[in-house]
Structure 1
Amino acid sequence: MEYARFVAIGDSQTEGLGDPDPRYEFRGWADRLADRLAQINPEVRYANLAVRGKRTRQVLDDQLAPALALNPDLVAAPLGMNDVIGRGDLAEVHTDLDHIYGRLAETGATVIVSTFPDVVRTIPLATRMEDRLLTLNAMMREFADQYGFVLVDLYSAPVLTDLRAWSVDRLHASPFGHERFADGAAHALGLPGSSADWGTPIDPTPQPHPVAAVIRDTRWAVQFFTPWLIRKVRGVSLGDGRAPKRPELTPVLGPLTPDPAAS
């Protein structure tokens, strides 16, 4: 199927953090998927409303209506990981997700959702949120079944437990990790040239000595976990005051300038 109007909503994963891009700071899996769609239909237009740090309620309040106004025929909407990390009420998250996904389903657009990777394997201290992660992943599968959405099962992809799939903060995918997510989405959509092997592991690297691993993880905690914890205590988000990087439907191929005819 050819798509003409692709809109992405969500948080840092879909904004593309960890995948630098000279055009607008970060690229990410949704941009990479848009590039593949453009290979099939050069006329496809793409908007990305995702903003780092946003929780499900903020996506509901700030992104859903603008996304619907763009009349998409394809939507990327994997949501909820910041609620898991931030200890949000998952019953409320379920209610908000049901509202978002119900509205998206009413449009008749194809909607992409995902489970989330097994971060317990990659992030120190993540065992504390394993039950919450599994609960969110169960929600993603539930909504995919309920609404007939396209599900990308990142949790079951061995390649995403490899640290090379993650940036140095281990919270955001590396360019390689974003590429594999895009590969998974392309396969789930049945795009030409996609492969079922997108989640297979790559050749292993030598494992560090246990002492070296402890030192590595301690440095990670000091550099990344502690600043995150301070922001959480202060109620501050990296997305505060930020606008979406690509708020209007624009051609994937060519300059990033809105096309009035596409609005």
Structure 2
Amino acid sequence: MRYVAIGDSFTEGVGDPQPGGGVRGWADLVAIGLAAAHGSVDYANLAIRGRLIEPIATVQCDAALALDPRPDVMTFNGSGNDMMRPGWDAARISALMQRVVDRTGEAGVSLVILSGPDPTERLPRGRTFSDRADELMAIVETLEAAHDHVTFVDNYRDSEMRRAAYWDTDRLHLNPLGHSRVAARVLGAMGVETDLPVAPAGDPGRPGVLAEAAYVGRYVLPWIGRRLTGRSSGDGRVPKHPAWTTIEAPVG
């Protein structure tokens, strides 16, 4: 079993930090779950935070399909960063996603497309993000219906994951519990039944004025600064698992 993941910070695992540095995330957890089901799995993760959909659908996709031996299954997520920038073009997004579908179909690789959960209730300009996400959902559903090798895992419409209990302090990335829930949903789509994590009842109330100001200073203003200067959070980064890494079945 060979599994490769392509995408941005969501697939890299931002929000699920590990002791000593680095991040884990849902894709790593999927690899562990597949190893438990199959005895072991060869795993690669080419995702890099901050990436727009074009380099994911071209550079990352081509590198994933060039792995030797070829993957059996690929997970693909992208366009979240495109949604937060001006110049959103649904037709262009559709063409890039179609490219990934076509390339995997030609290579005989099963493709799992997944959407990220819905962060709009706590984000500035959340309504714009939501409108664009609705367009993306329609694009992916059309692709799934037209291609037998494509499976869609719709995390965006999982109302449970809209709760604050699943989100990191930046309100944009999932925390470890959120990543665990996404992993369980992806594994279920791959035929590996896994318990679905659910947060305890009760969420914190809305932040006060001082807390909101601190949030803007810590997260929103640096994001705006990167946009104005043409920088990305992924500048200088490389994939965390660019080649096949064997994941053995967990003991116990």
Fold equivalence (TM over 0.5): yes
CA contact (8 A) 2:34 2:40 kept: no
Q: How many Å separate the matches in 2 of 1:233 and 1:206?
A: 33
SS of corresponding position for 2:123: coil
Greater relative contact order (Cα < 8 A, sep 6+): 2
Instruction: Show CA shifts across 1:55-90 (max 9, x none).
Output: 111113321111001211011102211111123323
Tell me the CA shift for residue 216 of structure 1. Answer: 3.0
Indicate the SS of the match to 1:20. coil
* Change in 2 beyond 3 A, CA 1:152/1:39: same
Q: Are 2:4 and 2:75, in contact at CA under 8 Å, matched by a contact in 1?
A: yes
| Whole-angstrom CA distance in 1 between matches of 2:139 and 2:27 | 21
TM superposition shift of 1:93: 1.6
**Deviation of the 1:200 alpha carbon:** 6.0
Out of 25, 32, 46, the residue aligned to residue 22 of structure 2 is 25
- The residue aligned with 1:203 is 201
User: How far apart in 2 are the matches of 1:138 and 1:214?
Assistant: 37
Deviates more, 1:176-185 or 1:233-242: 233-242
Aligned-partner Cα distance in 1 for 2:212–2:145: 38
CA contact (8 A) 1:53 1:238 kept: yes
Aligned to 1:260: none
- Please list every run of 5 or more consecutive structure 1 residues that lacks an aligned counterpart in the other structure: 255-263
Task: Report if the CA contact (8 A) 1:116-1:133 is conserved.
Answer: no
Give the drift of 1:158.
Answer: 2.0
Structure 1 position 113, deviation (Å): 1.0
Provide the C-alpha distance between the structure 2 equivalents of 1:115 and 1:140, rounded to a whole number of angstroms.
9
For residues 104-140 of structure 1, give each alpha carbon's deviation from its aligned partner in whole angstroms, at most 9, with x where no partner exists: 1222222111233222223243123221121112222
Q: Deviations over 1:35-69 (max 9, x none)?
A: 00010122310000001111111113321111001
Aligned residue among 220, 224, 228 for 2:219 = 224
Alpha-carbon spacing, 1:232–1:185, altered in 2? closer, same or farther (3 Å): same
Question: Aligned equivalents of 1:223 and 1:52: distance in 2?
Answer: 18
Task: Please tell me whether the aligned partners of residues 116 and 137 of structure 1 are also in contact (alpha carbons under 8 angstroms).
Answer: no
1:52-63 aligned at under 5 Å gives the runs: 52-63=49-60
| Aligned twin of 1:169 | 170
One-letter identity of the residue aligned with 1:146:
A
SS, match of residue 216 in structure 2: helix
Between the aligned partners of 1:44 and 1:119, the Cα distance in structure 2 is 32
Aligned partner of 1:136: which letter?
L
3-state SS in 1 of match to 2:116: coil
**Residue 163 to residue 115, structure 1, CA distance change in 2 (3 Å):** same
Aligned counterparts of 2:234 and 2:175: Cα–Cα separation in 1: 19
Matches within 5 A, 1:117-156: 117-148=117-148, 149-156=150-157
Matched residue type, 2:218: Q
The total of aligned residue pairs comes to: 245
Partner of 1:253: 248
Counterpart of 2:2 (choices 2, 5, 22) is 5
Between the aligned partners of 1:6 and 1:101, the Cα distance in structure 2 is 16
CA distance in 2, matches of 1:199, 1:91: 35
Equivalent position of 1:160 in the other structure? 161
Give the RMSD, CA atoms, in angstroms. Answer: 2.0
- Of 100-109 and 41-50, the range deviating more from structure 2: 100-109
> Which deviates further from its counterpart, 106-115 or 228-237?
106-115
Structure 1 position 236, deviation (Å):
0.6
What is the one-letter code of the residue matched to 1:250? Answer: T
Q: CA deviation digits over 1:122-176, x for unaligned, max 9? A: 3243123221121112222222222232211112212211112111111111001
